[in-house]
């Protein structure tokens, strides 16, 4: 009887594990190779340079996306298609009362898309070369939120530059931007320190951030001096890509 019970329990565990494995595998199969953030450089007619981005994600088994030409200019992607290694999509924006359709097409090769951008405006068509790269690592701007246990978490901006495992950059504070020190990213784990001036001319203190990076998000803990008191406190923090 005991052996039969052990056998039944073992069989049940095996079935659960099998279901979880198949579910995970199915999720992997449904994940599009386009998922994530892609960026490229573009030179404007006046010589100015911008770094547009597109972000793809799968929702309800359907590939969706958002384009951002400049901060605050987000627009949804339409007519997204991925056939083999061929990628195409459209972005519709309104400029001076007229709808401008921009068509992107290219060949996907690993972490690069290379092709053409075709824009139609005022009955005219212009074409540009297009080389987009997957935004790996943590390069760029992030919106950071620190939870102090109040109704209004503190929000700031973190700008990072990655060179191998080393990170440099700046974090916006209450009164000014501060350089980050001892920045490191390895195996999806991020850590850095920020030195803050003391209140009322007091001694400087060091805030220590550590956490995990998952795609376009970060979550972790920050150790800092208590406000208006002695000792240290630990708070939750998270971040999302800002551009």
- The predicted pLDDT at position 236 comes to 94
- The predicted pLDDT at position 212 comes to 95
On whether the CB atoms of residues 82 and 64 are closer than 8 A, the answer is no
Parts of the chain with a pLDDT under 70 = 1-31, 71, 198-202, 227-229, 243
Alpha-carbon gap, residue 243 to 68, rounded angstroms: 7
- The predicted pLDDT at position 198 comes to 65
Full-model pTM = 0.55
Of 152, 151, 204, nearest to 176 by C-alpha is: 204
- The predicted pLDDT at position 6 comes to 42
Of 175, 174, 169, 214, nearest to 193 by C-alpha is: 169
Strand 140-147 and strand 98-109: the pairing is unpaired
Alpha-carbon gap, residue 63 to 174, rounded angstroms: 39
- The predicted pLDDT at position 210 comes to 96
φ, ψ for residue 27 (rounded to 5)? -60, -40
Alpha-carbon gap, residue 229 to 130, rounded angstroms: 54
**CATH no. of 140-241:** 2.40.128.20
- The predicted pLDDT at position 132 comes to 94
On whether the CB atoms of residues 211 and 221 are closer than 8 A, the answer is yes
Of 159, 181, 154, nearest to 170 by C-alpha is: 159
Q: Which residues, listed in sequence order, are joined to residue 88 by a DSSP beta bridge?
A: 81, 105
């Amino acid at each position: 009887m005991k052996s039969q019970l052990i056998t039944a329990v073992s069989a049940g565990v095996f079935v659960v594990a099998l279901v979880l494995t198949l579910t995970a595998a199915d999720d992997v199969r449904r994940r599009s190779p386009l998922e994530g953030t892609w960026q490229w450089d573009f030179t404007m007619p006046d010589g100015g340079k911008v770094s547009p981005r597109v972000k793809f994600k799968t929702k309800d088994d359907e590939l969706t996306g958002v384009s951002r030409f400049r901060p605050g200019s987000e627009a949804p992607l339409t007519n997204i298609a991925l056939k083999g290694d061929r990628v195409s999509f459209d972005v519709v924006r309104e400029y001076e009362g007229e709808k401008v359709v921009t068509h992107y097409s290219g060949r996907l090769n690993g972490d690069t898309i290379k092709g053409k951008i075709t824009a139609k405006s005022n009955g005219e068509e212009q074409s540009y070369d297009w080389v987009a790269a997957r935004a790996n690592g943590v390069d760029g701007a992030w919106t950071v939120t620190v939870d102090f246990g109040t109704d209004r978490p503190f929000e700031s901006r973190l700008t990072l530059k990655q060179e191998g495992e080393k990170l440099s950059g700046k974090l916006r504070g209450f009164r000014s931007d501060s350089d980050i020190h001892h920045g490191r990213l390895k195996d999806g784990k991020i850590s850095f320190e920020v030195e803050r001036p003391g209140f009322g001319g007091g001694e400087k203190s060091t805030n220590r951030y550590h956490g995990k990076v998952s795609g376009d998000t970060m979550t972790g803990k920050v150790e800092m001096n208590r406000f208006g008191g002695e000792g240290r406190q630990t708070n939750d923090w998270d971040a999302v890509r800002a551009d």
